[in-house]
Amino acid sequence: MRIRIDFQSTIRHREYDGLRLEVIHPDRGTLDTAFLSFADHQTFARRDEARGIGPGWDGYARIRDWHENGPPPWKGADLTGLRRAITHYTRIWAPAPTPEHSRPSLPTLPTARPAPGRSR
């Protein structure tokens, strides 16, 4: 299985408001799809606060890829929330194998035997 991550389009061409995750099986196709919005994961909170825009304003928590020149539109994004959500989603669909002991166990010491002629 594979997990595919794409930008989630808005109704505007080359404008995105989150990520779309898909679990794809090689034989059965798409098994699941999830949407992670930039707004819900505070991806552009600093940028939007500096611009003085909030929910309901044009461009809030969105990126626009309209210009070929200049820095990428996601520059300055805080990806912490998205990274956590993607990691959580990935663990649901591809749980990590149970780790083997990271270090060998300590050897078991033989039980002390009483000295000859003495009883416990």
77-101 per-position pLDDT tens digit: 999 999 999 999 999 988 766 666 5
DSSP state of 19: E
Q: What percent of the chain has pLDDT over 90?
A: 65
Judge whether 69 lies within some domain: yes
What is the number of domains present in the chain? 1
Judge whether 104 lies within some domain: no
* pLDDT exceeds cutoff 60 at 105: no
Judge whether 22 lies within some domain: yes
What is the pLDDT, as a whole number, of residue 106? 54
Whose CA is closest to 73, among 14, 5, 12? 14
User: Which of the four pLDDT bands, split at 50, 70 and 90, describes residue 74?
Assistant: confident
Judge whether 105 lies within some domain: no
Whose CA is closest to 74, among 62, 85, 86, 59? 62
* Residue 82, helix vs strand vs coil: helix
Q: Which residue(s) pair with 22 in the sheet?
A: 4, 33
pLDDT digit string, tens, across residues 25-68 = 999 999 999 999 999 999 999 999 999 999 999 999 999 987 77
Q: Residue 92: how many CA atoms within 13 Å on its side-chain side?
A: 14
What is the pLDDT, as a whole number, of residue 65? 86
Distance CA 19, CA 15 (A): 12
What is the pLDDT, as a whole number, of residue 22? 96
Structural domain harbouring 77: 2-93
Judge whether 23 lies within some domain: yes
Judge whether 14 lies within some domain: yes
* Residue 81, helix vs strand vs coil: helix
Q: Residue 37: CB partners within 8 Å, gap ≥ 6?
A: 8, 17, 18, 61
